Amino acid sequence: MKLQTKNLTLSVGKRSLVANLNWQVNAGECWCIIGRNGAGKTTLLRCLAGLFDVAANAGEVLINDRSLAKWPLTELAKVRSYLPQGRNDAFAYRVIESVLGARHPYHDGHYWESDQDLAAAYAALTELDVADLAERDVRSLSGGERQRVAIASLLAQDAQLMLLDEPTNALDLAHQISVMQTFSQRCKNQQKALLMVSHDLNLAYSIATHALLLMGDGSWQAGTVLEIMTEANLSQCLGHPIEMIWHGKQRLFLPVQAQLLAQTFN
């Protein structure tokens, strides 16, 4: 699996989001995409997913050396999956039916799901700790349960490239950690490539191998997390001073004001 951008440029109106992005993501790599609100993180992710509402001003996106524009949708759905920020469940689908929908690219002309599809769907639900919800109406679920079902759908799709827009939205702490571990294992053990938008620096750093910083003016920085996730880079990117501290062998990133507040109340 290889994702490339060549001179990719994205803008909204007269505002540049990404300018001349020359970038490559390889199998087994886990990238976190970091930036302020409105910096272009979601726009970039939707462009990489090939969604029709986002068009590049210049440049191109390639998956496995093939231009994204030349991928038939069914083939594309087998190699890349996309998790949006929000989920709108308008119809009374059961949870299992919702997850089975992610297996549609593998149907090859037949309508009914196969035993393999069912096995993949139930395995994903089990991994996300929502197998007991399989017969529930998706509209009856809590926000966190819906998010885990959405992630289960993404896992059941079993694409080699996973594009995730704030995947821990609505999740409690325990499920945030378990979901991150699940994604990390997919990268390490199955050599999947992962791109994740996140505002949680510590959670992202816990599994990321690489980082892409969108600076908000079209400029960007990309590289390994050790190269890119520095105090200076993150402070500039996020518009607020960030300090890196050590807790045992673990690196933690804290906004400076939060540290001052903690000292005030302790």
pLDDT interval class at 107 (50, 70, 90): confident
The pLDDT of residue 88 is 79
Q: What is the pLDDT of residue 112?
A: 78
Q: How many domains does the chain have?
A: 2
What is the predicted pLDDT for the residue at 47?
A: 95
pLDDT at 161 over 80: yes
Q: Are residues 126 and 168 in the same domain?
A: yes
At 19, give phi and psi (nearest 5°).
Answer: -125, 125
The predicted structure's pLDDT at residue 258: 60
Q: What is the pLDDT of residue 29?
A: 99
Task: For residues 217 and 258, state if they share a domain.
Answer: no
pLDDT per residue as tens digits for the range 201-244: 999 999 999 999 999 999 999 999 999 999 999 999 999 999 99
Task: Please state the φ and ψ torsions of residue 113, each to the nearest 5 degrees.
Answer: -70, 150
Does 190 lie in the same domain as 95? yes
Looking up residue 158, the CATH number of its domain turns out to be 3.40.50.300
3-state helix, strand, coil in the chain (%, to 5): 40, 30, 30
Kindly report, residue by residue over 112-128, the tens digit of the pLDDT. Answer: 788 999 999 999 999 99
Name the band, by pLDDT with cuts 50, 70 and 90, for residue 157.
Answer: very high
- Assess whether pLDDT exceeds 70 at residue 259: no
Per-residue pLDDT, 262: 61
| Confidence label for 13 from pLDDT (cuts 50, 70 and 90) | confident
User: Residues 174-193: what's their mean pLDDT?
Assistant: 98
Q: Could you tell me if 215 and 161 lie in one domain?
A: yes
Same-domain status, 143 and 220: yes
Q: Are residues 131 and 79 in the same domain?
A: yes
Q: What integer pLDDT is reported at residue 113 of this predicted model?
A: 85
Is residue 200 located within the same domain as residue 259? no
On whether both 198 and 89 belong to a single domain, the answer is yes
Residues 129, 260 within the same domain? no
**Residue ranges making up the domain that contains 184:** 2-229
Distance CA 231, CA 266 (A): 25
- pLDDT tens, position by position, 57-81: 899 999 999 999 999 999 999 999 9
Q: Is residue 240 located within the same domain as residue 175? A: no
Burial of 66-99, coded b for 16+ CB within 10 Å and e otherwise, reads eebeebeeeebbebbbbbbeebebeeebebbbbb
The residue-averaged pLDDT of 170-194 equals 98
> Given this model, what pLDDT does residue 124 score?
98
Same domain, 245 and 154: no
- The mean pLDDT value of the chain amounts to 94
Report how far Cα 249 is from the mean position of its chain's Cα atoms.
Answer: 26
Rounded-to-integer distance, Cα 41 and Cα 37, Å: 8
166 and 250 in a single domain? The answer is no
Query: Which one-letter DSSP state was computed for residue 218?
Result: B
User: What percentage of the chain has pLDDT greater than the value 70?
Assistant: 95
